[in-house]
Structure 1
Amino acid sequence: MMRLKKWSALLLFILIATLVAACGNAKSTGTAGSESASDAESEQDLPEVLNIGYFEYIDDSLIVKQQGWLEEELNQLGVEVNWISFQTGRDANNALLSKAIDIQIGIGDPPVSIAVESKTPYEIFWAGQTVGEAEALVTKKDSGIDRIEDLKGKRVATTIASTSHYSLLSALQLNGLTEADVQIVDLTAPDILSAWQRGDIDAAYTWDPILTEILKDGTRLISSADLAEQRHPTGTYGVVHTEFGEKYPKIVELYIKQLIRAQQLYTENPDEAAKLWAEGLHISEEEAAKQAKGSIWLTPEQQLSKDFLGTSGNIGNTAESLKKIGDFLVDQKSLTTKLEVSSYEAIINPVYLENVVNKTNN
C-alpha cells in the first residue's frame, strides 16, 4: 500500500511537471507570436498615402520632391507620396482643415496666424527660412511712382493672407498710408504676372520666381529684407495636421531628415541645388542660384534656438512674432480677435525636430 502511494505521488509529480512545461512552452510561443504581431502592426500602422502640400518656389522641400527621397523611403513600406501644389496659404489652410493634405511646407506667418484664430488643427514643426530679398514691392519703370507714398489711389496686386500681403500693409503703414488709400487686388503669383504684362496693375508685392519676372521692367520700392530691418520680419514654416502628427510621428521625423538633407546639399553643392530648382520651376540655373540667396536658411540648431521655435521646454520667439502679425491683422480688420501669446505657443511643436537632431548627434 505504501509502495502504491509512492508510485501515485511520483506519477502525479511527473504529470504536474509535464503540464507546467507544456504551459511554459505555450507561453513562450505566445510571446514570440505577439512580438511578431506587434512588429507587423507597427509596420502596418502607416498611411496608404502621404499628402504633402508645397509652393512652387525655391526652398528645401522642392529639392526633396525633385530628388524623390521620400518616395525612396516610403514606397518600399507601401506608402504612396502625393505632392500637391498650392498658390496661396489660404488654400493650404483649407486643405489642412479638410484633411486633404497631411503636411504643408513653406506656409507663411499670416496664414499661420489666421489658422490659430480659426483653430485649424495643425502644429509647426519646421522654420526653415526667413524671407529676405525674395519678396518685394515693385512698380513699373517710368510710371512716376518713385516712393511708396506715390501709391495712393493706385492698383496694387498681392496675394491676400500671404507674407507679401502682410509686408505690403506694413510698408504702407510705415509710410503713412493705410489699406484704404490704395486699391489692393487679390491675385495669385502667376496671375500677378499676367496682370502686370497686360498693364492692369500699377504695382505688386510678390515673391520669386514671379518677382524676378516683373523686375525685368520694374523698379523695387522696398523688400522684405528692408522691412525685417524695420521690425516687420516674415518667415515660412512646415506644419502638420495635429491628428496625423500624433498618429505618425516617425513620418514627420523622416520628412525633417530629408529637409535637413536638402539644406546640406545646398550648402555643400549649390550648383546641384540650383539645377534641381531650375528643373522644378522651369527657370535658368543662374536665376535659381540668384533667387536662393533671397532667403535666409535656418539650420536645425538655429530653429531650436530662442530666436525661433525654441525647445519643447522653452518655446521661442516665433510665438511672439506670430502674435505680432495676428494683432496687426486685427488692426487691419483682416482678423477679429487679438489672442494671447499662449495661443501661438500651443501650435509650436519642436519635439519632432528635437528627436531628429538628438538622434543625429548621438
Structure 2
Amino acid sequence: MSKHTQPSSIRRRLLQAGAAIAAATLAPAVQAQGNGRAIRIGYQKSSTLLTILKANGTLEKLLAPSGARISWHEFANGLPLLEALNVGGLDLSADVADTVPVFAQAAGARLTYLAQEAPSPAAQAIIVRADSPIRSVAELKRKKIAVTKAAGVHYLLIATLEKAGLKFSDIEAAYLSPADGRAAFERNNVDAWVTWDPFLAGVQRQTQVRVLADGRGVADYQRYYLAATQFAETNPDVLRVVFDELQKTGQWVKRNPKEAASFLAPLWGLDAATIELANSRRSYDVRAVKPEALGEQQRIADTFFSAGLLPKKIDAASVAIWQPARQG
C-alpha cells in the first residue's frame, strides 16, 4: 500500500461508510418521531465510558421521561463514525482519537465538540518484539511499521519520527486495522506496530514485546466526544445529561479499577487484568472543550497537511463547541 493517503480516496470512503450507516439508521429514526426523539449513538470497542452506560441502560432511564428512544451502533474505527454523524446517520459519537475530528473538519463535516478526555499519552505506543534488534526510534528508518490510518497512533508515529530526525517517508507504513496490525506484528510481517489501548495492553500481556516510545512528551492523546451540529442545537438537554453521566462514569472507573475491569471483561471479550492495565493509562477525566485548549488539534492538522494527508489547511479552533455552563 502507498505510504501516503490520497485525500480524495479518504473522503470517498468516508462518504460511502457514512451513507451506509445513514441508510441503516435513518428509517428507525423516522418511525420513532411520533413517539418522541430518536437518539442514535455511535461507539467503538475502545469507548469505555459509553460502553458502561450502554450496558447499564443509564441514558435510557434518564431520558425516558422526555420520550427519547436510544439506539446504539458500533463502528470499527472513528472516521466512518464521524462521517455518519455528518450525513445524518447518527446524533452522538462516543470518544474518538484526537486526529479523527481533524480529518472530519477538513472534509467539511458539521460536528459539535461535546467533551474531551484529559490527556492519556501513555495509552498509545510504538512497540517492537522483545527480541527485535531495534532499540531506538532512529533505527526505524527503512523499516516496515503497522499503523492505523488517521488514528491517534498515526500522528504519534509521525511526531515521534520527526523528534528522532526522521521523515514519515523514511519508513514503510503498512496501514492496517488493530486486529490486522497485531496479526502482521506477531507473524514478523512488520518490524514495529503502533497501537492504542486496549489493543496495546492485550499484546503486552499475551506476547513478549518492548515499548520503543509512547506519547509522553510528543502526543497528548485527548479523546473527543462529538454530536451532529443540528442535533446539538436542538437537543441541549440531552447533551447535558450525556455530559454529566460521562463525567460520573469516568470518575467511577478511576475510583474502582478492579470492579470496572471485571464489568467490562465480558463486554469486550478480554480478561479483567488486561482491561485494568489499559484503564490505568487512560485519564477518563471528562471535561468541557475550550477553544484555547485546541492547540494540539492545530498541531495535528498542520502535521497531517504537511505530510499530504489532509486536503487543505484548517483552523482547528473554528468549530462548534457545546458549553455545559451555558445550559439550563
Q: TM-score range by the shorter chain?
A: 0.7 to 0.9
Hey, which bits of structure 1, 4+ residues long, moved more than 6 A? none
- Please give the root-mean-square deviation of Cα atoms over the aligned residues, in Å: 2.2
Aligned pair partner of 1:332 in 299, 307, 320: 307
1:28 paired residue number: none
- Report the CA distance shift for 1:80/1:195 in structure 2 as closer, same or farther (over 3 A): farther
**1:70 positional shift:** 1.2
The CA distance in 1 between the partners of 2:266 and 2:326, in whole Å, is 33
Aligned pair partner of 1:347 in 315, 319, 323: 319
The CA distance in 2 between the partners of 1:247 and 1:350, in whole Å, is 12
The CA distance in 1 between the partners of 2:68 and 2:224, in whole Å, is 24
Contact 2:88/2:228, CA 8 A, preserved across alignment: yes
1:20 paired residue number: none
| 3-state SS, counterpart of residue 345 of structure 1 | coil
Aligned partner of 2:99: which letter?
Answer: P
| 3-state SS, counterpart of residue 344 of structure 1 | coil
Q: Matches of residues 99-118 of structure 1 in structure 2 within 5 Å?
A: 99-118=88-107
Residue ranges of structure 2 left out of the alignment (5+ in a row): 1-32
| 3-state SS, counterpart of residue 90 of structure 1 | helix
Mapped pair 1:323 → 2:298: yes
Contact 1:195/1:201, CA 8 A, preserved across alignment: yes
Aligned partner of 1:183: which letter?
Answer: E
Contact 1:88/1:159, CA 8 A, preserved across alignment: no
Contact 1:137/1:221, CA 8 A, preserved across alignment: yes
**1:268 positional shift:** 3.8
Q: Matches of residues 9-24 of structure 1 in structure 2 within 5 Å?
A: none
Aligned pair partner of 2:180 in 185, 188, 191: 191
Aligned pair partner of 1:130 in 119, 143, 150: 119
2:226 paired residue number: 239
The CA distance in 1 between the partners of 2:320 and 2:262, in whole Å, is 33
The CA distance in 1 between the partners of 2:87 and 2:244, in whole Å, is 27
2:170 paired residue number: 181
**1:67 positional shift:** 1.6
**TM-score in terms of structure 1 length:** 0.75
- Report the CA distance shift for 1:243/1:202 in structure 2 as closer, same or farther (over 3 A): same
Aligned pair partner of 1:276 in 255, 259, 263: 263
**1:281 positional shift:** 1.2
The CA distance in 2 between the partners of 1:111 and 1:344, in whole Å, is 12
Aligned pair partner of 1:258 in 227, 245, 261: 245
Contact 1:196/1:214, CA 8 A, preserved across alignment: no
| 3-state SS, counterpart of residue 123 of structure 1 | strand
Aligned partner of 1:125: which letter?
Answer: L
Aligned pair partner of 2:277 in 273, 280, 290: 290
The CA distance in 2 between the partners of 1:191 and 1:199, in whole Å, is 12
State how many pairs are aligned. 294
The structure with more helix, counted as a fraction of residues: 1
| 3-state SS, counterpart of residue 248 of structure 2 | helix
Return the structure number with greater relative CO, CA threshold 8 A, min gap 6. Answer: 2
**1:58 positional shift:** 5.8
Structure number, greater radius of gyration: 1
**1:235 positional shift:** 1.0
**1:242 positional shift:** 0.3
**1:77 positional shift:** 4.7
| 3-state SS, counterpart of residue 114 of structure 1 | helix
| 3-state SS, counterpart of residue 235 of structure 1 | coil
| 3-state SS, counterpart of residue 50 of structure 1 | strand
Residue ranges of structure 1 left out of the alignment (5+ in a row): 1-42
**1:221 positional shift:** 0.2
**Identical aligned residues as a percent:** 22
**TM-score in terms of structure 2 length:** 0.82
| 3-state SS, counterpart of residue 321 of structure 2 | coil
Aligned partner of 1:354: which letter?
Answer: A
Q: Matches of residues 61-76 of structure 1 in structure 2 within 5 Å?
A: 61-75=50-64
